[in-house]
Amino acid sequence: MKTRGVVVDQMTRRTVKTMKAKMRTKPTRRILSKGQRGEVREIKDKKVAVIFYASGESDGKSSELPVHWLAANHIEHDTDAQTHDCYLAMDVLCEVLESHPSIIVYFPDHFSWLPERSFWSFWRAREEFFGKVKEMFDQLPERKVLIYGQNKSVPGSEELECILKGITTEVKDTWRRREEEKEKCKPFPNIISIMPPKEKDVVKKLGLQILEDEKKMISERNISAMHRVFNEHDLVCKDLELIDSSGLILNRREVDKIVGWATNHHLSSCHTPSVKNGRLHMPRSSLEHAILRLKESKNKFSKSPKELARGEYEKSFLPSVVSPNDIGVKFDDVGALDVVKKTLNELVILPLKRPEFFSRGNLLRPCKGMLLFGPPGTGKTLIAKALATEAGAHFINVTPSSLGSMWYGESEKLTKALFTLAVKLAPTIIFLDEIDALLGARGKLYESSAMRKVRNEFMSGWDGLTSNDSQRILVLGASNRPFDLDDAVIRRMPRRILVDLPDVKNRLKILDILLAKEALESGFDIKKLAEATEGYSGSDLKNLCVAAAYMPVQERLEQESKLQGDKKDGDSALRPLKLEDFINSMDTVGPSVAYESSSLVELREWNERFGEAGSRRKSKNSLTSS
C-alpha cells in the first residue's frame, strides 16, 4: 500500500464587507448598508467586482447572485467570514484525509491558519479554532500522519542585542508569539526537536541537501509558470517536466520571453510543425535553446565589461567600450539616411536580436563585416553609434593608437585581446573609424612591418568570427577613402554602403531634427532653407544652425552695450530665429566638400564598382530584361 504526501499551503477565500454607511453600486444600482458581506470575483484597476451574499447566507452559494462593482476604498477584508472559511476548509481537509487509507500531511511554518488580525481582539476566536481543529484531528482514523513544522531561533547574542534595543516592545511581542505558538501546537501533542548537527561533515551534507531541495523547488515553480503560459497560448511540450531551469527564478515576463523564443526557434527550424487539436506541439530542444539564451543574456548584463575583462591587454580596451544604454543615440536622432537604416536593420539588428532565424541552412548567416563610406560629415560615425543602441550591442571604438605599442609583439597581443573581449561582451560592434589608416592596402612604401603584423592578426581574428556563426560580433568600418583599403579587407566586408551628401528631402529631415527644440519665428520656411543648402553635409548643417543661433545673442549683446548698463534686470529672453539668420550665416559656414570635387568623383566611381549600386545593378537589369 502506498502512502501519499500532501503539503498544505493556503485555504482562505477573499471575503470582504462594506465600510460606508450607505452607498449605491454599479451597474445594478443596489443600495448597500455598512457591514454587508460578499466574495471578491475580479479586480480591475481600482474597482473590485463583489458578489454579496443573500441575507443570512454566507456559505459561498453565490453563483446566481449579481456582480457589483465597488471602489477598492469602500470595502475591507472580512476577517469574521474568513474565519468561517477556515472552519469550512478544515472540514474539507478532514473529509479528504478520511477518503485516503494512508496519507501524510505537512503544514509548513508559514502556513496561514487564520487571517491576520489584532491578537488581543482575536485571542478567544483563535483559542476556539485550534481547540476545534484538535477535536477534528483526534477523530481521524489510523494511518494518518499530520506534521507541523515550526522554526525556533536559538537564543544568542543577536537576540540579546534585539532585546536590549527595545526591551519593552520585544518582551511584549515575544510573549505574544509564544501564546500563538502554544495555540498552533495544540493539535500536535507529540513534539520532536530537531537541532542542527554539529559535525562538520554532517553540516556540509545537510547544506548540500538544502541546496538540492531549493533547486528542485525553484525548478518546479518555473515549470508550473511555463505550463500556465503554454496553456494560455495553446502550446504543448511533452517533456516540459524534464526541462532544466536551474539557476533561474523566472518571473512572468521572462517566462513569456522563453515561450516566445522557443516558438520562433521551433517554427524557423521545422518544415512541418506538429499541430494536434489546435495546439502546437513543441520539442524539448527549442525550449532548452530559449532557456540557454535567457541565461546568456542575464549573465551578460549582470556583469560589467570591467568584470569580464581578463588580463592587461583586454583591460586596455575598457576606455573604448561603451554599453548600449550609455550611447544615447538612436536611429530617430539621425536625420535622413533611411535606406542605410533599413539595410542596417536587416543585416545587423535582426541577426543580433533574432538569431533563431539564422540558425538553419547555409544562406541565412549573420553579416560579420560592413563598410560605410562617403564624404566627411555625412553621419557615418553617428549611424554606427545609433546602430549599437538599436541592436542592444556593446560598442568598441578602435583606433590605430589603441592597437599600437612601442614594444615588439605587443600590438599582436592587443589585437588578439580585442576579439576575445568582443566575444565576452557579445553582441558587440567593433567600430573602426578611418579604417583605411589601419587596414590599408599592402605593399606601400611607407608600410611598416609592425602594421603588417597587426593587419595579419586582425584578419586572423576576423576569420574566426566568420567561421563561428554563434558569435554575434560585427566589424563595422567607416572610411572617406575606401579605394585605399586592402583587397582582403574589402572581401571580408560583403556589404559596402555609400553614405552620400543629403539631397533636399534628406536635408529637410536633418533640419527638422536640429531645429526641433529651437524657438523659431512664426511662418519659418524650413523647406526653403533645405533648398538653399545644396552641397551641405549633415555636419555642415549642424555648424550652420549653431552659427545662426548666435545671431540673436550677438544682437542682444550689442543692444546692451548701447544701453550702457541700463538693461532690465533678469531679462535674458532672446528673439526667435529667423530664416535671415541662416542665410547670413551661410557667408561664414559653407559646405566642406565640393559636390564635383575629385574625392567625391573617386568615391562614386568606387561605389559603381564595389558598392551597393553601380555595375552590379546594371547587370541585374540586363538579366531581367533578357
| CB count in 10 Å sphere of residue 323 | 16
Give CA angle at 287 (392, 300), nearest 5°.
Answer: 30
Domains along the sequence of the chain with CATH: 4-147 (2.30.30.40), 200-302 (1.10.8), 305-498 (3.40.50.300), 504-564+572-592 (1.10.8.60)
Query: Which pLDDT belongs to residue 171?
Result: 45
Check whether 328 has a pLDDT greater than 60.
yes
What is the spatial distance between Cα 512 and Cα 404, in angstroms, rounded to a whole number?
Answer: 41
**Would you call 92 exposed, middle or buried from its count of C-beta atoms within 10 A (0-12, 13-18, 19+)?**
exposed
> Bridge-partner residues for 22, per DSSP?
33
Query: Which pLDDT belongs to residue 29?
Result: 53
Q: Does residue 376 have a cis peptide bond before it, meaning omega lies within 30 degrees of 0? A: no
pLDDT, mean of residues 570-586: 82
pLDDT, mean of residues 449-458: 78
Question: pLDDT category, 300, cuts 50, 70, 90?
Answer: low
More confident residue, 335 or 478: 478
Check whether 70 has a pLDDT greater than 70.
yes
Beta strands across the sheet bearing 369-373: 321-322, 394-398, 428-433, 473-479, 369-373, 495-498
Q: Which helix (H) or strand (E) holds 532?
A: helix 526-532
Check whether 583 has a pLDDT greater than 80.
yes
What is the spatial distance between Cα 349 and Cα 351, in angstroms, rounded to a whole number?
Answer: 6
DSSP notation for 66-78: PPEEEEGGGEEE-
> Bridge-partner residues for 470, per DSSP?
none
**Cβ contact 611:496 at 8 Å:** yes
What cell numbers appear for 283 in the block? Answer: 520539442
Q: Which helix (H) or strand (E) holds 516?
A: none
Query: Which pLDDT belongs to residue 351?
Result: 78
More confident residue, 603 or 133: 603
Query: Which pLDDT belongs to residue 53?
Result: 62
Query: Which pLDDT belongs to residue 295?
Result: 80
Query: Which pLDDT belongs to residue 165?
Result: 45
Query: Which pLDDT belongs to residue 320?
Result: 83
Query: Which pLDDT belongs to residue 59?
Result: 47
What is the spatial distance between Cα 267 and Cα 235, in angstroms, rounded to a whole number?
Answer: 13
Least confident of 73-77, 415-419, 429-433, 544-548: 73-77
**pTM of the full predicted structure?**
0.53
Check whether 168 has a pLDDT greater than 60.
no
Question: pLDDT category, 150, cuts 50, 70, 90?
Answer: confident
Percent pLDDT > 90 in the chain is 0
Question: Tens of pLDDT along 134-148?
Answer: 777 777 777 777 777
What is the spatial distance between Cα 344 and Cα 338, in angstroms, rounded to a whole number?
Answer: 10
**Cβ contact 65:51 at 8 Å:** yes
What is the spatial distance between Cα 37 and Cα 14, in angstroms, rounded to a whole number?
Answer: 11
Q: Does residue 27 have a cis peptide bond before it, meaning omega lies within 30 degrees of 0? A: yes
pLDDT, mean of residues 269-279: 81
Check whether 564 has a pLDDT greater than 80.
no
- How would you classify the pairing of strands 4-7 and 103-107? parallel
Query: Which pLDDT belongs to residue 296?
Result: 74
Give exposure, 464-503, as e/b (b: 16+ Cβ within 10 Å): bbeeeeebbbbbbbbbbbbbebbeebbebbebbbbbbbbe
Question: Tens of pLDDT along 169-217?
Answer: 444 455 555 666 666 666 777 788 878 788 888 888 888 888 888 888 8
What is the spatial distance between Cα 37 and Cα 39, in angstroms, rounded to a whole number?
Answer: 7
Averaged confidence pLDDT in the chain: 75
pLDDT, mean of residues 122-151: 72
Could you tell me where the DSSP H helices lie in 373-443? 380-391, 400-403, 410-425, 435-438
**Cβ contact 114:83 at 8 Å:** yes
Percent pLDDT > 70 in the chain is 73
Query: Which pLDDT belongs to residue 153?
Result: 56
Kindly give, in sequence order, each residue whose CB lies less than 8 Å from that of residue 560, ignoring residues fewer than 6 positions away: 567
- What distance separates the 2 farthest-apart alpha carbons in the chain? 107
Query: Which pLDDT belongs to residue 447?
Result: 64
* Placement of cell 452607498 in the chain: 23
Question: Tens of pLDDT along 488-501?
Answer: 888 888 888 888 88
Phi, psi dihedral angles at 15 (to 5 degrees): -105, 140
Question: pLDDT category, 614, cuts 50, 70, 90?
Answer: very low
What residue ranges in 66-208 does DSSP mark as E strands? 68-71, 75-77, 103-107, 144-148
Check whether 618 has a pLDDT greater than 50.
no
What is the spatial distance between Cα 245 and Cα 160, in angstroms, rounded to a whole number?
Answer: 41
| CB count in 10 Å sphere of residue 316 | 19
Nearest partner of 473 among 322, 367, 623, judged by Cα? 367
**Would you call 169 exposed, middle or buried from its count of C-beta atoms within 10 A (0-12, 13-18, 19+)?**
exposed
What cell numbers appear for 426 in the block? Answer: 557579445
pLDDT, mean of residues 496-518: 86
pLDDT, mean of residues 457-483: 78
Question: Tens of pLDDT along 4-17?
Answer: 555 555 444 455 55
Q: Which helix (H) or strand (E) holds 235?
A: strand 235-236
Question: Tens of pLDDT along 528-539?
Answer: 988 888 888 888
Across 34-38, 326-330, 576-580, which has the greatest mean pLDDT? Answer: 576-580
Q: At what angle do helices 252-269 and 200-232 cross, to 10 degrees?
A: 70
Check whether 24 has a pLDDT greater than 80.
no
More confident residue, 144 or 30: 144
60: left (phi over 0), alpha (psi -120 to 50) or beta: left
**Cβ contact 419:461 at 8 Å:** yes
Query: Which pLDDT belongs to residue 16?
Result: 54
pLDDT, mean of residues 543-561: 87
Query: Which pLDDT belongs to residue 503?
Result: 85
What is the spatial distance between Cα 614 and Cα 608, in angstroms, rounded to a whole number?
Answer: 4
pLDDT, mean of residues 369-381: 85
Query: Which pLDDT belongs to residue 305?
Result: 76
Question: pLDDT category, 622, cuts 50, 70, 90?
Answer: very low
More confident residue, 76 or 274: 274
Check whether 18 has a pLDDT greater than 60.
no
* Placement of cell 517554427 in the chain: 267
Give CA angle at 97 (92, 103), nearest 5°.
Answer: 145
pLDDT, mean of residues 259-281: 83
What is the spatial distance between Cα 170 and Cα 155, in angstroms, rounded to a whole number?
Answer: 14
